């Protein structure tokens, strides 16, 4: 990396650019950087400084409008103007906030990260402008909430979320330096008036408690940051051990074996299940008390009863001594149930039945088919000549109950001839084979 020779750098600008250059050099490998850009002073300083570095990776920005402030439209205009001035492609997104039992701040954060994940793929490193002040506030909030090692280590420097990596390159710098950088560089940035609302815990800590602590204990914020770093190192060792235990308990189909899990002490079970959630979801894990209660129910569950833990858009469910992470979104009703022409049949948001037709398909007479969802009590004739109840087939195949409604049932002349691509009526299978027609169910994961 190198600086643009045309830049006229103040001492502060030089410090920030050098810090960012060092962080990116030593940070996670990237093919592109995607900056979470709110237009506040912190993310403005990050994006502007990044634009002044000559790097091989491409740079994009994403601005998420939560629709919570009256100034949101003005912030979007500012994001567009600044990115145009700095020659950075910008993605503007609007989100709806669903609190789902969480506070407004947490709900907005979750919606923001979910949106960002839709624009990040393998090789993308998402940069956020979290700084040392944010880290201290996070540590204190978690301490007041009774958090353990994970909470007291604050925000991690980097974290893998789905296909991309989240990286916080400014975590060691105080927020005042970022604001000063914007002022010296004459950058336009927004001010979020809600940051002065003391009804929000983080704002109260920032505006009331931390200044009081700093007056009594000068340098306290820096010491808080050091403590968070030391606790983070201990957390890393702990996570490596827990990951080793999780690897032992994972089945071939990436489920968690509960029979072996319950052999561990309860506090180990908690950490293992939490790591299981973190590995599979971009969403934060559920609150600790709810996860603790779920673990308790796992250990006390009677035969035939299985606990369920639901939060955000996910739930933890148990089936046949395996733990599943499930999308709790409801199943879209089938409305296009008439299938009377050769071609794929699509179930929006659920999947499709893909058929591969031979070259001679122009003369193919496609039967009048109908597609429905499971209603209960269905049977299908199989190769052994007998009719089998779908409920029994699902159980034998180990298909969890919540997945069964997502399998399309195909009928011809009111006779069930196929359950997705899992079970086919022998006459229908013969009809497909004679015409060399491929038949495959492709669910949307």
Per residue in 229-272, pLDDT (tens digit) is 899 899 989 989 999 999 999 988 789 999 999 999 999 999 99
Strands lying side by side in the sheet with 338-339: 338-339, 369-372, 409-412, 415-419, 423-424
CATH topology for the 250-327 domain: Chorismate Mutase Domain, subunit A (1.20.59)
> In which residue ranges of the chain is pLDDT below 70?
1-9, 67-68, 97-107, 281-283, 302-304, 328-330, 360-362, 445
Query: What are the Cα distances from residue 65, in Å, to 25, 91, 97, 237?
Result: 31, 11, 10, 38
How far is it, in rounded angstroms, from Cα 161 to Cα 158? Answer: 10
pLDDT at 116: 85
pTM above 0.85, yes or no: no
Closest C-alpha to 406, from 342, 344, 326: 326
Strands lying side by side in the sheet with 256-257: 256-257, 322-327, 314-319, 309-311
pLDDT at 341: 87
pLDDT at 99: 53
pLDDT at 256: 93
pLDDT at 284: 72
pLDDT at 196: 83
pLDDT at 304: 61
pLDDT at 145: 85
Instruction: Give domain limits for the chain.
Output: 2-227, 250-327, 338-443
Closest C-alpha to 2, from 56, 55, 79, 66: 55
250-327 and 2-227 share a CATH fold: no
pLDDT, one tens digit per residue, over 185-235 is: 999 999 888 778 888 888 999 999 999 999 999 999 899 999 998 998 999
Considering the domain 2-227 in this protein, what is its CATH number? 3.40.50.620
pLDDT, one tens digit per residue, over 154-178 is: 999 998 877 789 999 999 999 999 9
């Amino acid at each position: 990396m190198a600086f643009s020779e045309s830049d006229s750098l103040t001492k502060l600008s030089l410090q920030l650019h050098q810090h960012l250059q060092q962080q990116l050099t030593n940070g996670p490998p990237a093919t592109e950087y995607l900056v979470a850009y709110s237009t506040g002073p912190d993310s403005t300083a990050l994006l502007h400084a990044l634009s002044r570095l000559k790097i091989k990776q491409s740079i994009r920005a994403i601005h998420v409008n939560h629709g919570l402030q009256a100034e949101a439209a003005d912030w979007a205009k500012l994001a567009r103007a600044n990115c145009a001035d700095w020659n950075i492609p910008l993605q503007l997104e609007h989100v709806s906030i669903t609190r789902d039992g969480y506070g407004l701040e947490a709900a907005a954060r979750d919606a923001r990260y979910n949106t960002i994940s839709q624009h990040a793929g393998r090789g993308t490193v998402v940069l956020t402008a979290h700084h040392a002040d944010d880290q201290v506030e996070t540590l204190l909030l978690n301490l007041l909430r009774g958090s353990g090692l994970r909470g007291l280590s604050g925000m991690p420097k980097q974290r893998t979320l789905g296909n991309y990596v989240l990286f916080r390159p400014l975590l060691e710098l105080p927020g005042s330096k970022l604001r000063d950088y914007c002022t010296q560089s004459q950058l336009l940035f927004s001010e979020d008036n809600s940051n002065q609302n003391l009804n929000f815990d983080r704002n109260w800590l920032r505006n009331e408690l931390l200044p009081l602590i700093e007056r009594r204990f000068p340098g306290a914020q820096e010491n808080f940051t050091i403590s968070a770093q030391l606790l983070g190192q201990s957390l890393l060792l702990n996570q490596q051990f827990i990951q080793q235990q999780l690897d032992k308990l994972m089945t071939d189909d990436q489920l968690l074996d509960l029979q072996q899990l319950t052999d561990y002490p309860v506090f180990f079970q908690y950490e293992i299940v939490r790591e299981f959630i973190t590995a599979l979801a971009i969403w934060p894990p559920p609150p600790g008390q709810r996860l603790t209660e779920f673990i308790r129910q796992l250990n006390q569950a009677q035969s035939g009863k299985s606990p369920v833990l639901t939060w955000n858009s996910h739930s933890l469910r148990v089936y046949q001594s395996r733990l599943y992470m499930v999308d709790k979104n409801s199943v879209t009703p089938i409305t296009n149930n008439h299938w009377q022409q050769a071609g794929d049949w699509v179930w929006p948001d659920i999947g499709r039945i893909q058929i591969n037709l031979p070259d001679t398909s122009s003369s193919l007479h496609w039967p009048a088919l109908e597609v429905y969802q499971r209603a209960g009590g269905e049977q299908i004739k199989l190769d052994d000549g007998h009719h089998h109840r779908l409920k029994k087939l699902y159980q034998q195949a180990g298909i969890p109950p919540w997945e069964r409604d997502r399998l399309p049932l195909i009928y011809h002349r009111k006779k069930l001839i196929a359950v997705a691509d899992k079970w086919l009526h022998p006459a229908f299978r013969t009809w497909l084979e004679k015409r060399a027609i491929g038949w495959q169910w492709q669910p949307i994961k």
